[in-house]
Structure formats: C-alpha cells, structure tokens
Structure 1
Amino acid sequence: MRVGLFVTCLIDLMRPEIGFSVIKLIEGAGFEVVVPPAQTCCGQPAYNSGDRRLARELAEKTLREFEQFDYVVVPSGSCGGMIRVHYGDLFGDDPELMNRFGRLRGKVFELTDFLVNVAKVQLQPGEFAGQVTTYHDSCSGLRELGVKAQPRELLAQVGVAVTEMKGCEHCCGFGGTFAVKYGDISTAIVDEKCANIAETGAGTVVLGDLGCMLNIEGRLRRKGDSTTRVLHIAQVLAGDV
C-alpha cells in the first residue's frame, strides 16, 4: 500500500534527517512511501493568524496532492491536527470539497499512531536501548489526535526507559505564532518545561513535533544546558541517533 508522507515545513527546512528516519520506519513496516515533491505548508500558520483565504488555498493544494494515497502519514501532531480537524472548517461551504476531505480524513495519521494502529509494528531494541529518557506530549498531537500511549509503546519496544516528567502534557510555549506574539509568556512556559525535564535526571527528551523540539532545545541551550539531548521520536525508533 502507498503512503503519502507529509514531510512538514520545519522538517524539510530545518531537520531533513528526521524525514529520512520517518521513511525508514514506514518502509520497514512494509509500505511504499511517496513524497509529493510540490507539497508545501498545511496552512496552519495562516489559519491560526486569521488568514482564512490563504489557509483555504493551502488546504485545497494539500487535498489535491494527497487524496490519491492509501494513507497519509504526518510526523507532527500540529500539522496532522490541522489536516484532520481544521480542514473541515475551511471546506464547510463547499460540498464537493467536504466530500473529498471526508474520504481523506480517515486516512491521515500522525506517525506513531500509524505505526501502532495501522502498521502494528514490532520494533527491535537498538543502540538507544536502556538509556533513560523523558517524553513531552505536544498539544495538538495529544488533544486533537489522541496521541499519548502510542509513542510510549514504541519506545518500550526498542528498550527505551521513559521517566515521566511533571507536566508532560503541558505546553512547551511554542504554539507557532504564539511564541512570536507573546514572547514573554512563551519563555515563562518553556522555562517551566525545562525545569521539569531537569528534575527527571533524564539525559534525553523525546517528542513527536519539531516545533516543540526546536523550542525546548533552543531554550535549554540558552540556559547553559549543552548536554541534554532533544530528539524526534522517529530518530530514536529508527536508530538514527
């Protein structure tokens, strides 16, 4: 079966190695992976900023490029949530688009949800096995897509011990344009997240959304923490760390 990989803007532009880890995982589960070369943004920044016209254009573009596949996998809770949850709002006045979106919606999965509930993978322990980590639940993945147990199940499969941090479900302060509009509030939120990570004594924080990853890693480094690793879960599961 063919999987369309929605790479996401941040992975494409800032950490493309995560995309290659995602491909390795999906192909390892027995699926053909296709990356539509013309894909761009899912429309979330425009949508969150109130530019519904641009968000609608990007949503229609994404629909055209991905509706052909058996599944669509997104290694980001925020982009996955935008597609599965909010496209319906953008297409609500167009019955044809709503019908096409209805057929697409059930095929769209966040990466760990796909690996657990569709591919039903059984991964083998790798070099990261036994290392103590903590896990940050991204807001969109958790609250819009129900991603909570899936990443922890996969980490257990590869032998990674998760030490839960206080407030693991709390926002990291990124929130896309929120971090730009409300910098002081964003900084206070991520400072609390960094403190909670440090309290666990874990040497690595793992997560499933690159926006959160960049925000947490950036703040840790600015606060003088040069040793705590911040990794996308695809990198850990694929053994690319």
Structure 2
Amino acid sequence: MVLFLILAVCLWSPPSLAVNAGKVIHLLTMEAPPFMSDSLPEKGAAVHALRQIFKKNGYDLKVTFTPYLRAKIQALQKDDVSGFFPAAEENITTGYVLSKIMYVTPWGFAERKDKPIHWNQPEDLLPYKIGNVMGYELSRVLAPAQKKKKFQIENVSSDEQNLLKLARKRVDLAFIDATMFEYLMKSSENLRPYQNKLQINAKIIRMDEYGVAFKNSGKGKAHLDVFNRLIQKEEFHRLVELYFKTHMPE
C-alpha cells in the first residue's frame, strides 16, 4: 500500500509541476516606489495588484528588477521573460506590443514652496533648471518647443536624488509622478528635513496611461492575451489604493 502511494505521488507530481511552470508570467520592472520596489512589502503597489489578479486566475507572477533602459533590451534577450512594465505608448520599441491600459497617474513638477513657478507654455520654463530621472519621458512635455529652444535639463538616477537637488536649490523644478512625490516625502529619511519645503506645482502636466510591454512573439504573445483577458483597470486601481492604505506612511 505504501509503495502504491509513493508511485502515485511520483506519477502525479511532474504533470502538476509542468502545469504550474507554464502558468508563470515573468516580467522585468524598475525601482519606482511606491509602485515597484524590491525593498517594499510585496514588491510595491503595482506588483502586488498584478500578482493578486493573476493569482486568483491561476497564474503566478515573477518579477525581476533592473534599470529601466536595460529592461527593454534584456526582456528580448531572455527566453523566460515575457516583457517589461510599466510601459506607455511612447516608449514601446520594436519587438513589443503594449497591453491594455492598467493604470492612470498624474505627472507634474515638484517645486520649492518659497519659489512657486507659474507657467502656461513650455517656453515659460526656459529660464529654469529642470531635474529629470534618466528614462523618464520629459521630452513629451517640452515638445515641440524643445526643437526650437534649449531647455536646462539635468538628468539624475533616481526620484529621491532629483528631489534632493530641488530641495538644495541645485534645480528649480523636478519632473515626477505626483503619487511618487507624496510617498517619497513621507518615507525618505534623506527628504525628511524638507517635508514642509517642497510641493507639487499647481499645473498638472498630464495623466500617464501605463500597461505592460509584451514581446511580440511566442510566450510573450500568449501572455499578452492572458493579460488582456484578465486585467481590468478598475480592479487594478482598487488593489493599488488598498495597498497604499495598508503600507503607505501617514
């Protein structure tokens, strides 16, 4: 009887593991707290929301963190990776297809409270130094004016570094996601001394729409179909907001 049970388990296990392996969706992403971060609970709000939606539908989400510009290249090179996120229509490159939109978020400029900047057209920003994180699509904000004029843009490697440069008066504005600004001002030890000195500029620049860039071949195309079938923007937003209530500092 014992031998029969052992044989039964051995015969049953491989197919089960094969099925589970076939339902793993591996995506690359970047450090962008509170949405995605290897150091946050459940890897951040966006990863948590995606994982919950996939999980209830029988899929497992695997996420690997890498610099954003590198993710576009590495995803194409790695057979076990299906794509990268977040992705917008403007940064989809050859070899990828953009999924359904899963999240919409406001972008603007952070500024010092003692030096608010009033502007209407991109040309109004010419006198100011603007901080930008490498890989962010600031050019979309300044086009087509940037074709005629030279803006003062200083690139940095992270949002925290960008805000620190702003607080220390090395730049006049910092291009940033409004939700990320709120999170960093509450959670960063380095920014704590400046909590009451920075704010988001009154002019919201745009609402960005994000999805996942899936590879336009093989497993990527199959997982694109799965994603578009399972993901509903309303559910994703609800799970992200729930994460913020649970994990965001007051």
Fold similarity call, TM over 0.5:
no
For the pair shown, the structure with the greater C-alpha radius of gyration is 2
TM class by shorter chain equals: 0.3 to 0.5
Q: Which has the higher contact order (CA 8 A, sep 6+)?
A: 2
Which has the larger strand fraction? 2
Name the TM-score, length of structure 2 as normaliser: 0.35
